[in-house]
Amino acid sequence: MSEAASANPATQTPAASASGFELQTVSGLLALFRSGAASPVEVVRDLSARIDTYDGGLHCFVTRTPEIALARARAAEQQWQRGEAGALTGIPYGLKDVICTAGVLTTGQSKILQHHIPQHDSAVEEKLKDSGALLMGKLTTFEFAHGGPSWDLPWPPAMNPWKSGYMPGATSSGAGAAVAAGFLPAAIGTDTGGSIRMPAAMCGIVGVKPTYGLVSRRGVLPNTFTFDACGPMTRTVEDAALVLGAIAGFDDADISSVERAPIDFMRDLALGVRGVRIGWVRHWYDGDVSCHPDVAPAVEQALTVLAEAGAIIEEIRLSDLLVYQDCKTTISITEMFSAYEHEFRTRPQDFGLMFRNKVLSGALIRAEDYFQALRQRLWLSRELTRAFRACDVIATAGWMTPADPARPDKLEKFLRPPNITTPFNIGGGPAMNLPCGFSREGLPLSLQLAAAHFDEPMMFRVGHAFQQMTDWHTRHPSEGMTQ
């Protein structure tokens, strides 16, 4: 265990008022429901009380839906009693507020859609409803899942439950904070360049960007059509596999949806890592650029754990992060401007400053530049494909730093240092962040795993094995949980 990982007293502190169901996992709650030891109604009431107590300081929710959750919980209770429970019957969840819900405010955290109540559910919400899960509310994001944190929007940004005054990462920020805070055992975020994985890293939870085309984007407010993916945020890899199983599937109404045989994401969880080939991309965070000093030792320690369990670790080199980032951002700002062009022409002042500053330039990108970025994307995707022929999984840092302090007075740079998560959006395959330690300030650190297209079972296999051998995912925040 690295010094940073072991020396932090905050990580030893029990979670604030951890007496009810707030720290139960999805699989743990299902076991309780199955045995009759707990009911979905009492879980909803317990979690609602916790949200009442702590969300005033964390701002995880844009809209809460306790009536919907309780109504579904009563139905779930009967389903369990009748032996008719589905995959997630009785499991509370939240949706990032870019995922449309019929009759429930869906704002994109933007003044542009401040009063927007969709008429139709997104495909993801349809699937979760069908699986018996309980919608607890809509979760804070950055404006249209891009460009924050912003303090000039109708709602404040979410804060990190691990430390007061720190950010939870972007852009599925409310989802990451809510799961870490024990408000929800699972949430659904979206990931275009790392927006599920970054808050998972900052909040010490698991965040999964599935293979592009595996989960329907129908009814999700667009960020970048080329990269947008919906995925689960949970406390364990096993839970992520469970939730992904409920939301994956072909959707004829999503042009990017891929028609293929269903994948059993739980299939390989128990296989361990003996003989698994892991390509370790160190130069992205330790060498070409400087990461926080606690990141590299934590990632190296995580890989040591996997190696001792029989994984074969080989250091590999891919293109520099900036090469991936230039390609991704050129595509993203062009597509985002296109998606919100009407509002940029008619009411640009109604976007938040951060979103405006990062997207308005998309109007000036020439068609040939966009096209060259798409050609570059195929080039980089081939590089990853070659790597995945030699490796079952690629491992690297989940993020370069622990959570950042909130700085409402500071305008973020237009282009941040390259994201270590973005290469796998370029490639399109699955990627996942999971906790692997703590900084000396008591903030979570994260390991990133990625696999070939549709090989989520291999990624989950390695991640689950890691969680079986470590206890980082069992730590819970306390210091940032203020009433």
Classified as helix, coil or strand, 123 is helix
Q: What are phi and psi of 408, to 5 degrees?
A: -60, -25
| Under 8 Å between Cβ of 294 and 445 | yes
Partner residues linked to 187 by β-bridges: 94, 233
Kindly compute the dihedral angle of the four CA atoms of residues 50, 145, 459, 181, in this order, to the nearest 10 degrees.
-10
Q: For tokens 């509370």, what's the residue?
A: 92
Rule CB under 8 A: which of 196-255 touch other proteins? 217-219, 221, 226, 252-255
Which CB atom, from 177 or from 391, has the smaller least distance to other proteins? 391
The least CB distance from residue 135 to other proteins, in Å, is 16
What string marks each residue from 339 to 368 as x (binds other proteins by CB under 8 A) or -? Answer: -----xx--xx---x--xxx-xxxxxx---
Cis peptide before 423 (omega within 30 of 0): no
x-or-dash string of contact with other proteins, 112-151, rule CB under 8 A? ----x-xxx-x-----------------------------
Which residues between 2 and 41 bind other proteins (CB under 8 A)? none
Contact with other proteins (CB under 8 A): which of 3, 52, 369, 471? Answer: 369
- Give the residue among 197, 160, 272, 226 at the shortest CA–CA distance from 373: 226
Q: Which residue has the tokens 């500071």?
A: 410
For the bound state, the minimum distance from the C-beta of residue 164 to other proteins, rounded and expressed in Å, comes to: 31
Site track for other proteins across 308-337, x = CB under 8 A: ------xxxxxx--x--xxx-xx--x----
Q: Coil, helix or strand for 370?
A: helix
CB closer to other proteins out of 176 and 222:
222
Single out the residue of 6, 290, 474, 483 in contact with other proteins (rule: CB under 8 A). Answer: 290
Site membership for other proteins, residue 163 (CB under 8 A): no
> Which of residues 165 and 348 has its CB atom nearest to other proteins in the complex?
348
**DSSP string covering 167-210, please?**
---SSSHHHHHHHHTTS-SEEEEEESSSTTHHHHHHHTSEEEEP
Q: How far is the CB of 386 from other proteins (least distance, A)?
A: 5
Q: How far is the CB of 108 from other proteins (least distance, A)?
A: 10
Contact 67, 45 (CB under 8 A): no
Beta carbon of residue 479, minimum distance to other proteins (angstroms, whole number): 29
Stretch near other proteins under the rule CB under 8 A, chosen from 3-11, 33-41, 152-160, 285-293: 285-293
415 binds other proteins (CB under 8 A): yes
- Are 97 and 53 a contacting pair, CB within 8 Å? no
Between CA 208 and CA 194 the distance in angstroms is 10
- Considering the complex, state which of residue 31 and residue 253 has its C-beta at the smaller distance from other proteins: 253
Q: How many residues bind other proteins (CB under 8 A)?
A: 71
Residues 390-409 that bind other proteins (CB under 8 A): 390
Q: CA-to-CA distance for 13 and 17, rounded, in angstroms? A: 11
